[in-house]
Structure 1
Amino acid sequence: MLPVSQHNASDLTVRSGYAYLLSDPSHVRVTRRASRNSLYLVHLFQINNSHACVVPQTMGFGLSAEPWAENDLPSGRDEILNGGLQMASDVLKNWKRGKLYKFKNPNGEDFQVQTFHTYHGSEYWLSRQSKHTIDEALYEKMVYYLNGSERTKTGEWAMPDRTRRSRLEKEYIEVLSDCEILKVTDSGWALVNLEYNLGKPLSIRDFNEWVYPIAPYVDETGREVSLIVSLNAQVPMKQSSVEKNHTAAYYASVERLAYDRDTGELEWLMCTTSDAGGNVPKWMQNATIAKTVAKDVPYLFNFLNTKQT
């Protein structure tokens, strides 16, 4: 058998994210290594413990709860988009289905929110999915507040301010007491400091996040898709927060809107992992987060009903 490095790319096939030699897969032992800020997953192949090669496979970056330094951030829109879409797609395929929550708004609207959960290593991830039939005006208002994009008079989507989405959160998240934009990178990531007031006796929770909004585009199914990716930022707590005895917390998420303009059907899906820090046990947070996240759906629609188009 030839060393793997002497085989052409056409000799390889992919199974479940790995590549094998077509000639004799039984002789191949595969290990996976990945650089989280790379567009590639790198696969190391060993043949009879003697020959090896590296085969790159184009992928989106891997989302996790780990803190990200600015230099490690993925910088390409497509890489960030693919990473977010891969996680969103994985929810419906592989995550465990949780409770279905049912709500009714003050104006009588009914909502059903399906939850899912999984573990990525030791990280607990929670997802919610809801479907709605709404008109274009309400959809575009929703995109404005959740994504920060606006529809121009020519019908195109524009994002003149990449920090808008983060700043608007204060309008509809009651416990969000402060939002400070620390910087915007050349590649489009916004570094945001968020302070959450959870009420006494809990201290203020201090989150530092990298936020990357992707404006709506039409995908291969004809739906209009927009995305927000939020990552845990590897930056020190602000001195003012330290002096006020805030508690460091973290949050990472993917939020996807997919809208069919022909039918008016909207799918709203969000995945998140977080830790409020302090003395709140992680198991308790995991046990209560599903209902908290699910309630965000009727709450946002109720908020949008109060805003003028």
Structure 2
Amino acid sequence: MTSENLLTILKPFKPSSLPSEEVLVGSGTSLINSSASWTAGRTYHDGRVKTCQRPKGPGDGAPWYCRHSEHMKEEITFNELWTKLSVNKAVNEKNYIHEIKDSIKVKQVSPTAEIWAMHYHFTPPVTDRVFTVFQVVHLSSEEGKPRVGTIVSLPVDLTSPEDQGLHDLEPKGAITGRYVSVERVMELENGNIEWRVVTSSSPGGNIPSFIVNSSMAKTIAHDVPSFLKWYRTLSEK
């Protein structure tokens, strides 16, 4: 598989065949850079969160969606945001993505790469979902250049017999979904930071794709104010 089509939900990776972190971050960087030219969508939360999208193309399992927002340092600094995203990201997400019931670390692959199983609980009749991902964290901090933090998440399949021990750690009784995402925090020339996410996903099961796609932009846009609200509660303690 080439670096151009690593980022897809079509065929999740086995733990034994995960791409290198360097290649994965390079692919993620190229993809998230390309989102600047995607088709603009709606804006949310008083225009602070913008969205755009790209139709499903060859090698994609679903369309791509993006949300991006700009933040002044008085609201949140690069270090503050990056720390919460890059350290125990899956655990922190439980605090501001309310559908996440549990976050389970399945394996520490390297100091900057982990496998996580994310257990989502939805209001019945929608069945719980589990999304298991290989997550790579990379911080670019060359002297004299703006800092850029990148997190790439790929779907992982733990059903092979050799991965039984890891598979046992996944939540039981939930339908398997898949998502791939690239998340970036970047310092801007005006002193602000940009927080940008691109993602493509499928919840699995019998939920029609048009229902998922119609709500995706709004769903990911809501993560921004939800995160900031949670972060403010931390600073008030």
- C-alpha displacement at 1:233, in angstroms? 0.3
Contact preservation (8 Å) 1:129, 1:267: yes
Instruction: Look up the equivalent residue of 2:120 and give its one-letter code.
Output: Y
Residue 30 of structure 2: aligned partner: 86
Greater Rg, structure 1 or structure 2?
Answer: 1
Instruction: Look up the equivalent residue of 1:183 and give its one-letter code.
Output: K
The structure that is strand-richer by fraction is: 1
Contact preservation (8 Å) 2:6, 2:24: no
- C-alpha displacement at 1:147, in angstroms? 1.7
Instruction: Look up the equivalent residue of 1:118 and give its one-letter code.
Output: P
Contact preservation (8 Å) 2:64, 2:198: yes
Residue 185 of structure 2: aligned partner: 257
Q: CA separation in 2, counterparts of 1:215 and 1:282?
A: 34
TM-score computed with the length of structure 1 as normaliser: 0.66
Inter-CA distance 249–140: structure 2 relative to 1 (3 Å threshold):
same
- C-alpha displacement at 1:274, in angstroms? 0.8
**Greater relative contact order: 1 or 2 (C-alpha under 8 angstroms, separation 6 or more)?**
2
State the percentage of identical aligned residues: 23
What are the ranges of 5 or more consecutive residues in structure 1 without an aligned counterpart?
1-34, 37-58, 105-109, 149-163
Residue 123 of structure 1: aligned partner: 62
What are the ranges of 5 or more consecutive residues in structure 2 without an aligned counterpart?
160-166
Contact preservation (8 Å) 2:96, 2:230: yes
**Once the two structures are superposed, what CA deviation does each residue of 1:177-206 show, in whole Å capped at 9, x if it has no partner?**
111111112474311111001122222111
Contact preservation (8 Å) 1:249, 1:277: yes
**Once the two structures are superposed, what CA deviation does each residue of 1:222-280 show, in whole Å capped at 9, x if it has no partner?**
221001000000113548744xx3111111100011013x6321111111011112221
Instruction: Give the secondary structure class of the aligned counterpart of 2:182.
Output: strand
Q: CA separation in 2, counterparts of 1:276 and 1:137?
A: 32
The alignment status of 1:280 with 2:219, answered yes or no, reads no
Residue 114 of structure 1: aligned partner: 51
Aligned length: 226
Contact preservation (8 Å) 2:54, 2:64: yes
Instruction: Look up the equivalent residue of 2:200 and give its one-letter code.
Output: T
Instruction: Give the secondary structure class of the aligned counterpart of 2:133.
Output: strand
The structure that is helix-richer by fraction is: 2
Contact preservation (8 Å) 2:51, 2:217: no
Inter-CA distance 212–202: structure 2 relative to 1 (3 Å threshold):
same
